[in-house]
């Protein structure tokens, strides 16, 4: 019984980690896409909402990366 619980726990940990990295990849792709699409036009004050969105996306990305790192360091995977 304990082996099956451990297997389920490990599967959930792996699944959660993959999901977090998937979301981080989406955030990074969104930032890159927004920058690449606006690379052609000249920088103007009317683009401040786009700049704010990119800054918030980048902040979210780095916060999530830091959170993942801190969780991995201070709360390593353990057995049940």
Once rounded to an integer, what is the mean pLDDT over residues 60-65?
A: 84
Once rounded to an integer, what is the mean pLDDT over residues 53-68?
A: 84
Residues 4-34: tens digit of each pLDDT: 888 888 888 888 778 888 888 888 888 888 8
Phi-psi region of 37 (alpha: psi -120 to 50; beta: other; left: phi over 0): alpha
Token pair listed for 54:
């990119």
40 occurs within a structural domain: yes
Q: How far apart are CA 27 and CA 20, in angstroms?
A: 11
Q: Is the pLDDT of residue 78 over 70?
A: no
Once rounded to an integer, what is the mean pLDDT over residues 42-53?
A: 83
Structural domain harbouring 25: 2-74
pLDDT value for 79: 56
Our count of domains for the chain comes to 1
Q: How far apart are CA 49 and CA 8, in angstroms?
A: 44
- Confidence band, pLDDT 50/70/90 cuts, at residue 62: confident
80 occurs within a structural domain: no
């Amino acid at each position: 019984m304990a082996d099956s619980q451990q297997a389920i726990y490990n599967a959930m940990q792996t699944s959660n980690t993959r999901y977090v990295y998937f979301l981080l990849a989406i955030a990074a792709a969104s930032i890159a896409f927004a920058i690449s699409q606006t690379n052609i036009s000249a920088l103007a004050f009317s683009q401040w909402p786009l700049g704010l969105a990119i800054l918030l996306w980048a902040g979210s990305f780095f916060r999530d990366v830091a959170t993942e790192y801190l969780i991995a360091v201070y709360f390593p995977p353990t057995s049940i």
